[in-house]
Structure 1
Amino acid sequence: MQRCSKGALMRFLLPVLQLYALETLLMIQVTIKNAGKVYPLEIDLKEPGLTLKLQIYSLTNIPPDRQKILLKGGQVKDDSDLSKFSLKEGQSVMVLGTPEKINVTDNKMPAPKFIEDIDEDEHFIGYHNEPSGLVNLGNTCYLNSSLQVMFEIKEIKERLDSETRSEPIVNHLYQLFQRMTSKEVGIRPLNLLATLRTQFPQFNERNDQGFFKQQDAEELYSQLLSVLLRKYPDLASFFRVEFKTSTRCLETNESPVIGYEDSLKLNCHISINTNFLKDGLINNLKETLEKNNQSLGRDAKYEISKWVTRLPKYLTIHFVRFFWRRDTSKKSKILRKVQFPFQLDLADLLDEEVRESKIKVRDELYKIEKENEDEGRELKKARLNNRIAEVSTRDYAEKNQQELYAMNEKWTRNFKKAFPDDYDPLRGENPSSLYELVSVVTHQGSSADSGHYQAFVKNSEDITGEQWWKFNDSEVSIVGKDKIEQLSGGGESDSAMILLYKAFGLQ
């Protein structure tokens, strides 16, 4: 083996050591002073000024637009390069500004109670393990609602847990999901928001008063998903819908041109005739347009038809409710009521080459679902009888939870019997045409530039499907299935904008 001289070794190590030293120097510890209070803070000098402001916001509750930070070299702006301010380790940084009022009910911890003081029903309800809410950082409900939907997709969390996360957005998303997994109360997604606004300028837009604008939740959801798919390409198979297309000239006898395309979502455009989700999806598979026809030497009318050839495990559906109004130069909202089902069958959208096999699995799933429902009703009756005999409410709750977990695992095994022998869940494909609704993002108001977004997520631990989590930023509550039925629109109240369906029978 050839030995390496000290000189050669140093020439090899010097660039590595220099890079390490540079990275270390770019991370410094400072002290934030405001209103007589002192806060230690680690600053990354590679980040823009907005990141520093958001960090200070999390400590002082002073919104970024109200902060005045004066350093040697001038005032810190959102796009400032922090490395240009000659900040030093241990330096004191004075921050001026008025904190915003805190809604004490948002993150208020309940007063402690003892088992002896809690009645039976209240004790049983207390066993719900409430998920984390996300604090609104100033018109960021579009971000919070999209994150709650994405957090429920286990394949995303698995990739984040197992892979390297060198990209800032991916790393901040991983850190945020770790905190949400730990059920922290009132999480502020500061680092993720700052990085998003740096890398995607549309999320950094401000209004005439200087405040950050409300943004489109679907645009944010799609942008985040695109970032993840670039980092983890294998994830795409869990979201990708594939189509066969036929382009036919309506003014000639030319044979149609067959093609193929794919998408990460299905759009439901809303017209005056759209009353149900399925109607909108079917109508979107056929369109008429004009383009040049060489044989005619002019533009001619063409009809483009699509059929679905592949269905993914997770189906994202976007209600296209926002449209541009020239008279007001703003995005307006279509308020029409469009009903959507908890269980969605897409057999009508399938290409004939895959329809028969998908329907066969679907029909088997229907049979198993009926058997599972019958068994569930029997269990419910037994639980009601047993509860009367239970001495301890805690014993009842623990026993009830164990029974539910066992039942859920059994039902999952039952559904697997309907899948083809060669079915591979790692391919990310839905073996049938059937889906179940698991998440909804809604919008209140009449304009895309205002209003409020919320998320509704099915409680995965409730096998009855009756309980849903409602995420109103940091406020988290439980609502019934009947509330979800009211999210179909028809006014300025909550209208579904994004629906996330999961392949029926899959975990």
Structure 2
Amino acid sequence: MVKVSIKNAGKVYDIELELTDTGKTFKEKIQELTLIPPQRQKILVKGGKVQDEATIESLNLSLKAPIMVLGTPDKDLPTKPVEKQVFLEDLNSSQLYKIDNEPSGLINLGNTCYLNSSMQVLFQIKDIADRLKNYNTTSSGAGSLSPQESLTSALKGVFSQMSQKQQNINPTLFLTILRNVYPQFAERSETGHFKQQDAEEAYSQILTALNNTLKIEDYFKLSFKATSKCLALPDAESTVTYEDASKLNCHISIQTNFLRDGLLSGLKETIEKYNDTLQSNTEYEINRTITRLPKYLTVQFVRFYWKRDTQKKSKILRKVQFPFELDLAEMLDDSIKQEKVSVRDNIRKVEKDNSDMIRDFKKAKRTNDSTIQLQQQQEEEEMKLLSIKTKFQDDLKAALPSIDLETVTENPSSVYQLQAIISHKGASADSGHYQAFVKDPLDLDGDKWWKFNDDKVSVIEKDKIEQLAGGGESDNALILLYKGIGL
């Protein structure tokens, strides 16, 4: 005898079953509790369907978490009394909090949009958020913390508030410590006000501090094989070196229309250096191929450059389109390409097998207004998402038995999905406005995104994200954060 829990319409029911019972018996017991006829039941279990003739033992049902059951009750069967409708204006703050799923905004403390947007993107990196949650300094007291330990502790406090979805968070302590650790962010104008800073510099410097305290470098590390050839001596043997980086650069020229163009351009360069055979300086062509892909890929649009006549960082406004799904297969070294492409193809098959469940989830709509029902619906949606994601992960593990998807720091495939963006509006890095755009993790198709304009948080659709490609002084994507597909 086993006890299985199911969840339907916000309520959890326990069902006792024999291991020799059939799927048909399971469905009949569900009908007794929920009034949903077997033909209307959709039971979210691994494999997608519960066959009538299958035994309970063969279904491997979860005994730890409730199994989500969807479907509409039979109108001809007795139903429970109608609950009294509750209106939003009658709710207290704790009830509203349970329904509100809006993420936290960060208060602008005076030209600090560069920092707010960077923190919003970093907060989306689950491995950082998890490590910060468990971070404890080993120093004997607060006064003996190193600067980077203090910065990490302060960021832990901000992320803790963000994880609780508190609104209008004030990051003053973190900002103060950041300016002490990295004095460039404390630069003031002639009028005494703190200057606008570069979001990419803030993003990178925070990661540098976290690398020191949380040891997260491998989550972001790219490795390259660089082949250098002297152009003046075509028959001379090429030299090979190896190097690491924390991001990919998208260089922008008049030929750059797509992210791919800029990335390929960044992997190839011509430099001048001394040649012993020629006894003079000569040009060398360097071609790089990628030998390691990180779990999280940071891509920087190299839009800012130093303009001598104005003595300022000016901005390249050219439109450069970027994909929501980025495949780097053509940029990989031959030593890893075949393996990465094989894993990519296996993940694609798993995605295709799970597409029906995702499609059914998207078709489901909220049908009631009652507050209690809203809470139940939110819980139900979260359970459905958990069921879908759990099934997807289980299927991935089965398809990729040699890869530990929970602890891996390297992307096992060549494909990434876009998670977040830092944008810049204006013509100069020293002015303008930075914002963050983050994909809603509860939206399986990525159609819903959150826009963070400091403490103002709003929802936008996917087509608005495409407009961040640039082409003027409006919002231009500056930093793209991608995550390995299936991770």
Q: Structure 1 residue aligned with 2:332, among 343, 350, 358?
A: 350
Matching of residue 369 in structure 1 with residue 369 in structure 2: no
Matching of residue 186 in structure 1 with residue 162 in structure 2: no
Match of 1:323 in 2: 305
Q: Which amino acid aligns with 1:454?
A: Q
The equivalences for 1:46-57 within 5 A come to: none
CA spacing shift, 1:416–1:387, aligned 2, 3 Å: farther
Match of 1:107 in 2: none
Q: Quote how far apart the aligned CAs of 1:394 are.
A: 4.9
Deviation digits for residues 233-260 of structure 1 (CA, Å, limit 9, x no counterpart): 3x11110000011011111122111110
In 2, Cα distance between the equivalents of 1:196 and 1:392? 45
Structure 1: gaps spanning 5 or more residues: 1-113
Matching of residue 155 in structure 1 with residue 127 in structure 2: yes
In 2, Cα distance between the equivalents of 1:399 and 1:182? 20
Q: Structure 2 residue aligned with 1:307, among 273, 278, 289?
A: 289
Which structure has more relative contact order (CA 8 Å, sep 6+)? It is 2
In 2, Cα distance between the equivalents of 1:299 and 1:293? 6
CA spacing shift, 1:181–1:394, aligned 2, 3 Å: closer
Report the RMSD for the aligned CA atoms in angstroms.
2.4
Deviation digits for residues 4-31 of structure 1 (CA, Å, limit 9, x no counterpart): xxxxxxxxxxxxxxxxxxxxxxxxxxxx
With structure 1 as the length reference, what TM-score do the two structures score?
Answer: 0.72
Matching of residue 457 in structure 1 with residue 438 in structure 2: yes
CA spacing shift, 1:290–1:168, aligned 2, 3 Å: same
Deviation digits for residues 203-225 of structure 1 (CA, Å, limit 9, x no counterpart): 01111211111000000000000
In 2, Cα distance between the equivalents of 1:265 and 1:221? 11
Q: Quote how far apart the aligned CAs of 1:288 are.
A: 0.8
Match of 1:272 in 2: 254
The equivalences for 1:180-329 within 5 A come to: 180-233=162-215, 235-252=216-233, 253-329=235-311
CA contact (8 A) 1:134 1:186 kept: yes
CA spacing shift, 1:393–1:152, aligned 2, 3 Å: closer
Q: Structure 1 residue aligned with 2:380, among 391, 399, 405?
A: 399
With structure 2 as the length reference, what TM-score do the two structures score?
Answer: 0.75
SS at match of 1:315: strand
In 2, Cα distance between the equivalents of 1:438 and 1:402? 22
In 2, Cα distance between the equivalents of 1:154 and 1:309? 24
Match of 2:104 in 1: 132
CA spacing shift, 1:483–1:126, aligned 2, 3 Å: farther
Match of 1:429 in 2: 410
In 2, Cα distance between the equivalents of 1:178 and 1:128? 17
In 2, Cα distance between the equivalents of 1:373 and 1:483? 25
Q: Which amino acid aligns with 1:326?
A: R
Q: Quote how far apart the aligned CAs of 1:347 are.
A: 0.2
- Give the length in aligned residue pairs: 387
In 1, Cα distance between the equivalents of 2:270 and 2:228? 10
CA spacing shift, 1:240–1:407, aligned 2, 3 Å: same
Match of 1:164 in 2: 136
Deviation digits for residues 432-460 of structure 1 (CA, Å, limit 9, x no counterpart): 00100000000001111110000011111
Match of 2:391 in 1: 410
Q: Which amino acid aligns with 1:472?
A: N
CA spacing shift, 1:396–1:272, aligned 2, 3 Å: same
Q: Which amino acid aligns with 1:115?
A: V
Q: Which amino acid aligns with 1:329?
A: Q
In 2, Cα distance between the equivalents of 1:227 and 1:502? 21
Match of 1:56 in 2: none
Q: Quote how far apart the aligned CAs of 1:157 are.
A: 2.1
CA contact (8 A) 2:98 2:375 kept: no
Q: Quote how far apart the aligned CAs of 1:371 are.
A: 2.4
Matching of residue 115 in structure 1 with residue 97 in structure 2: no
Q: Which amino acid aligns with 2:257?
A: N
Q: Quote how far apart the aligned CAs of 1:417 are.
A: 3.2
SS at match of 2:464: helix
CA contact (8 A) 2:437 2:449 kept: yes
SS at match of 2:469: coil
CA contact (8 A) 1:454 1:473 kept: yes
Percent identical among aligned pairs is 50
SS at match of 2:256: coil
Matching of residue 378 in structure 1 with residue 338 in structure 2: no
Match of 2:428 in 1: 447
Deviation digits for residues 305-329 of structure 1 (CA, Å, limit 9, x no counterpart): 1000000100001111001111111
CA contact (8 A) 2:117 2:454 kept: yes
SS at match of 1:261: strand
Match of 2:71 in 1: none
Q: Quote how far apart the aligned CAs of 1:387 are.
A: 4.5
Match of 1:493 in 2: 474
The equivalences for 1:88-99 within 5 A come to: none
Q: Quote how far apart the aligned CAs of 1:427 are.
A: 4.0
Deviation digits for residues 37-73 of structure 1 (CA, Å, limit 9, x no counterpart): xxxxxxxxxxxxxxxxxxxxxxxxxxxxxxxxxxxxx
Deviation digits for residues 354-399 of structure 1 (CA, Å, limit 9, x no counterpart): 0000000111112222222233223434x25x949x9955544443
Q: Quote how far apart the aligned CAs of 1:290 are.
A: 1.0
SS at match of 2:197: coil
Match of 2:419 in 1: 438
SS at match of 1:301: strand
Q: Which amino acid aligns with 1:250?
A: L
CA spacing shift, 1:220–1:371, aligned 2, 3 Å: same
CA contact (8 A) 1:423 1:431 kept: no
Q: Quote how far apart the aligned CAs of 1:128 are.
A: 4.5
CA spacing shift, 1:425–1:263, aligned 2, 3 Å: farther
Q: Which amino acid aligns with 1:485?
A: E
Deviation digits for residues 134-156 of structure 1 (CA, Å, limit 9, x no counterpart): 00000000000000111111221
Matching of residue 466 in structure 1 with residue 450 in structure 2: no
